[in-house]
Amino acid sequence: SLAAVLRDEPAPLTSPSAAIASRCLAKQPGQRFQTMTDVKTGLMGIVGHARPAEQPSIAVLPFANKSGDKEQEYFSDGLAEEIINALVKVPGLKVIARTSAFAFKGQNTDIRKIAETLGVTTVLEGSVRRSGNRIRVTAQLITAADGSHLWSERYDREMADVFAVQDEISAAISGALQVKLSPTAAAAKPRYTPKLPDSEALLKAKHFHWKVTVESMEQAKEFYEQAIALDPNYALARALYAD
């Protein structure tokens, strides 16, 4: 209303020229710029002082379990966690830790609010549907500024291909954010790939480990021991078991 124009202060701005805009909108005439030359001088003062380009950053949210079986939650959570672990190795990419990103699990919070809270420019969300030996994984990379999709893909694969899906998603995100693996990381020795039963046991162990209750830690212990028994050379299982 016209009364608001005279009485109410406008909402604060986050633009580099916010101070200039506020002065233009000042209620008292004496507090405004007196000439357009003054406005031009003020604008010229911020040229060359724009904020540097933001570092690419991402939060990977827990993937939604679409399998219709709550017991499969360990698998959807584990997939997101493995993608976090892969992205951490990308130089120049800021990756939010699992603990912080998973704090929003089940809250149905707006993606832009999550991004603002975690201080990231992009958010990865997705879902997993598992049926027998088949999985369907969907993933969407969302721009925090406006909630638009930067990249999305669907993967229909055999369960045995789950490791390849993790790598493909990580590579697609790196490409979308225009960050690359360093020569050292690209030439690194391929990671140890366990057999599916061993990986399943470890995912279950980690799922219970994160709950951090007396009962869950006992369950985690059993699954760590199962993973080690299935594959004595599975160093990651031994390390997490020691933890």
Name the residue with higher pLDDT: 212 or 48: 212
Handedness of CA 23, 28, 31, 32 (dihedral sign): positive
Taken as a whole, the chain contains a residue count of: 243
> Strands, E, within 97-198: which ranges?
122-131, 134-143, 149-158
State the average pLDDT over residues 6-26.
Answer: 68
Q: What is the pTM of this model?
A: 0.67
DSSP labels, 187-224:
TSPPPP---HHHHHHHHHHHHHHTT-SHHHHHHHHHHH
- Which has the higher per-residue pLDDT, 189 or 134? 134
Question: Could you give the C-alpha distances from 217 to 153, 207, 231, 243, in angstroms and in order?
Answer: 35, 10, 21, 11
pLDDT at 146: 87
pLDDT (mean) for 203-211: 89
Mean pLDDT score, 150-162? 90
What mean pLDDT value characterizes the chain? 82
Radius of gyration over every alpha carbon of the chain, rounded to an integer in angstroms = 24
Q: What is the mean pLDDT of residues 210-228?
A: 92
Q: What pLDDT shows up at residue 174?
A: 83
pLDDT at 208 over 50: yes
- Yes or no: say if 181 and 89 are a contact pair by the CB < 8 Å rule: yes
- Confidence (pLDDT) at 218: 94
Residue 223: predicted pLDDT:
93
pLDDT at 159 over 90: no
Instruction: Please say if the pLDDT value at position 38 is more than 80.
Output: no
The predicted structure's pLDDT at residue 127 = 93
Q: Are 143 and 56 in contact (CB under 8 A)?
A: no
Mean per-residue pLDDT for 69-82? 89
